[in-house]
């Protein structure tokens, strides 16, 4: 049985739909050996690398300028800050073995590489390229400083495929 449609899925259509509907967020923990959450975050940093400490402090001050944190206070071996409501939007309910995860980047569609359409089923596989757009917390992600080989949301291009399904009047990403 053939799926009747005159509307072909073009690269331009697919790109528009992907930009609107495809969201892939990258979650990672923030830099820390231990994260304690009691309304505040205490980020433990090693005093052995003064350059890292200065860099981390500048990132936290940038978060304060962007309205993501308040009450920045340096303590011996800790930097304390409180998340604002804006900052809490980047916090996930997901956890790893160390603590809560944060949205450190979101996918940004770059291009559609190809489309394989199946007219019999009214579906199409769309292969596309994306990169991650950093969130305000991107520079405080744990894997920037430790275990760099595990950093899954680096600033590079990724390729991915999704299935589209044809409805009477439009194409959509299959959920």
One-character DSSP codes across 19-68: HHH---EEEEPBS-S---BSSEEEEE--TT-HHHHHHHHHHHHHHHHTTS
Confidence grade of residue 53 (pLDDT, cut at 50, 70, 90): low
- The mean-pLDDT minimum among 11-20, 39-48, 159-168 falls in 39-48
- Does pLDDT of 81 surpass 50? yes
- Does pLDDT of 106 surpass 50? yes
Q: Give the chain's mean pLDDT.
A: 80
């Amino acid at each position: 049985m053939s799926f009747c449609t005159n509307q072909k899925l073009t690269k331009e259509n697919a790109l528009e739909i992907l930009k609107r509907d495809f969201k892939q967020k990258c979650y990672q923990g923030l830099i820390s050996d231990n994260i304690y959450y009691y309304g505040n975050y205490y980020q433990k940093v090693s005093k052995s690398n003064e350059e890292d400490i200065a860099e981390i402090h500048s990132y936290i001050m940038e978060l304060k300028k962007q309205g993501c944190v308040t009450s920045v206070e340096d303590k011996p071996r800790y930097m304390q800050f409180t998340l604002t409501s804006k900052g809490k939007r980047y916090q996930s309910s997901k956890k790893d073995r160390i603590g809560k995860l944060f949205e450190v980047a979101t996918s940004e569609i770059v291009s559609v590489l190809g489309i394989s359409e199946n007219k019999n089923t009214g579906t199409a596989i769309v292969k596309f390229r994306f990169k991650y757009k950093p969130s305000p917390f991107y520079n405080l992600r744990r894997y920037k400083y430790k275990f760099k080989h595990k950093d899954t949301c680096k600033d590079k291009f990724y390729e991915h495929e999704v299935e589209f399904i044809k409805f009477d009047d439009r194409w959509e990403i299959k959920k």
